[in-house]
Structure 1
Amino acid sequence: MFAQRCSRFFIVKPVVPSASYLNRASRTFSTTGAKSYETILTETPKPNVGLVTLNRPKALNALSSTLIAELNDALNRYEEDKDIGAIVITGSEKAFAAGADIKEMEPLTFSSAYAQNFIAPWSHLANAVRKPVIAAVSGYALGGGCELALMCDMLHCTSSATFGQPEIKLGVIPGAGASQRLTRAIGKSRAMEIVLTGNNFSGKNAGEWGLASQVVDGGKDELLEKSIATAAKISSYSRIAVLAGKEVVNKSQELPLKEGVEYERRLFHSLFGTKDQKIGMKAFSEKKKPEWSHE
């Protein structure tokens, strides 16, 4: 929710990968024919990996309703694509997403926001996408941008990335889950301070606090390379087992420990009814690489 203010101080060039990344991509990665979008770019940088790049450079990738609708459409397409095993969402070097689009929100009233259930579609990523999603964050991830990153299953960032929830400075509070997800990830005291002061925190902090699973000291290219490599590794395993793994970890955020362990055990038992369990264990016994059926 801070994109408007940030845009006064920074001139952002269009989101274009560096020459080194493009050269590497042309040698190693295969890019599928993708639907054309107005505010995002989509590609397949490695087999079985979907990549979404937020692409509103003049607005520091501020999250408009159009962008969210296009992101949800792209995620649905990757979800339905049997070849895709994991997804990466990223932005530019300057900004993952500097917030929600303030110009779009400013004229809203309670009645209009409530009647249209404003911002509800943002939760599609967290509620409807079963395949693993990695946020690769460079630059600003403020307000809604931070919340979008928090909805992903894993968060990777540069050490110099800037996170924050500055909504309090605009007379509102986070509206896309930050008060809940930040608190679960970094504890009540830190989350409370971030929400009530509007203070930012760094990518280095995100790693130290356990919010980010990977932090790189290099730039966007190194970050994206590592995130895509992680997504490719996940995609190399049984799709059924990966879906189950994501499901049980997410349940840990909703269920008490005893019920969570029981839920995990039941899903573990259910995997013995899959072809991939037989393939994986037989390959292990025979010291061979498993050839997954994803069934």
Structure 2
Amino acid sequence: MTYDNVLVNKEEKTAVITINRPESLNALNAKTIEELSIVFGELEADSTIRVIVLTGSGEKSFVAGADIKEFSDFNQEKAEQLARNGQNILFNKIENLSKPVIAAINGFALGGGLELAMACHIRYASENARLGLPEVTLGLIPGYGGTQRLPKLVGKGMANEMIFSAKMIPAQKAKEIGLVNEVYPADQLLLKTKELAQMIANNSPMAIGKAIKATNLSDTDKGFETEMTYFGELFEMDDKREGVSAFLEKRKPVF
């Protein structure tokens, strides 16, 4: 299937999704969100794909934010529905996907763009990346999970500082506070992200799927119980038998 605003490239066990609206710095509009939702659903169902990389086209921007022109005249009901719909069909979908999603942040990640990156399981950034949540400069607050996911990643105090001030921070600062995992020169970002994707793809997809679910519950009272349950369930699965056999036979497992 072809899309207007999204490109998909499959390489071995990894799929690279590129948001392709360079003329608007890859800003998220309704159509792009819908297309991304469809693509993620298709890739989750594709048994040949184990890891997904998400990036933006061009050298300037991952996603520069939401397309403000689309909602500038919305009333309360429409605005709330916009946020709820985006969370349900895309942001929560990514966070709860059974396959790891790595954001390759290749420039500006602002507003909805940073929220999109935060919904991913891992974030790598280029040295020229700039990250921020500028919504309060519009008289708004983040509407795609920014007030919820940012404190979990960087702590409440730093999250408040970023949200209240609306300032952009450079990639290295983002790494220092735990917002991104690693920072690379722009021309190495995708290569390094794919290298990580390949390392992950070689591991047990069954175990990784369970790990995602358990980790997503780490800040709830269900976290420990879920971990113990999944730990036990995996003992009945083929991947555990292959992994343990490979270890005992001193060979690499084939999952």
2:123 counterpart (148, 155, 167): 155
Q: How does 1:83-162 map to 2 (within 5 A)?
A: 83-91=48-56, 92-114=58-80, 117-120=84-87, 121-126=89-94, 128-162=96-130
Give the structure 2 partner of residue 289 of structure 1: 252
2:205 match: 239
* Aligned positions of 1:186-205 closer than 5 A: 186-205=154-173
- Partner residue in 2 for 1:28: none
| 1:181-220 mapped onto 2 (5 Å cutoff) | 181-216=149-184, 218-219=185-186
2-structure distance, mates of 1:161, 1:176: 20
CA contact (8 A) 1:72 1:124 kept: no
Q: Which residue of 2 aligns with 1:225?
A: 191
- Mapped partners of 1:182, 1:197: distance in 2: 14
Q: Any unmatched runs of 5+ in structure 1?
A: 1-34
> Can you list the C-alpha shifts for 1:123-159, whole angstroms capped at 9, x where unaligned?
2433552211000001100000000000000011013
Distance, in Å, in 2 between the alignment partners of 1:124 and 1:230 is: 23
**Equivalent residues of 1:164, 1:200 under 8 A apart:** yes
C-alpha distance after superposition, 1:270-291 (max 9, x if no partner) = 1100111111111111111222
AA of the residue aligned to 2:177: W
TM-score (norm 2): 0.94
| Partner Cα separation in structure 1 for residue 74 and residue 117 of structure 2 | 25
**CA distance in 1: counterparts of 2:211 and 2:65, whole angstroms:** 31
Q: Which residue of 1 aligns with 2:225?
A: 262
Write the distance in 2 (CA, Å) between the matches of 1:109 and 1:118: 15
Letter in 1 for 2:123: L
For the Cα contact (< 8 Å) 1:168–1:198, is it kept in 2? yes
Q: CA RMSD in A?
A: 1.5
Match for 2:189: what amino acid?
L
> Which residue is equivalent to 1:68?
33
Using a 3 Å threshold, how does the CA distance of structure 1 residues 115 and 243 change in structure 2: closer, same or farther? closer
Deviation digits for residues 166-196 of structure 1 (CA, Å, limit 9, x no counterpart): 1111111100111111111111111111111
- Which amino acid is 1:187 matched to? G
- Structure-1 residue corresponding to 2:43: 78
Equivalents in 2 of 1:179, 1:290: separation in Å?
41
Which residue among 12, 15, 26 is the counterpart of 1:50? 15
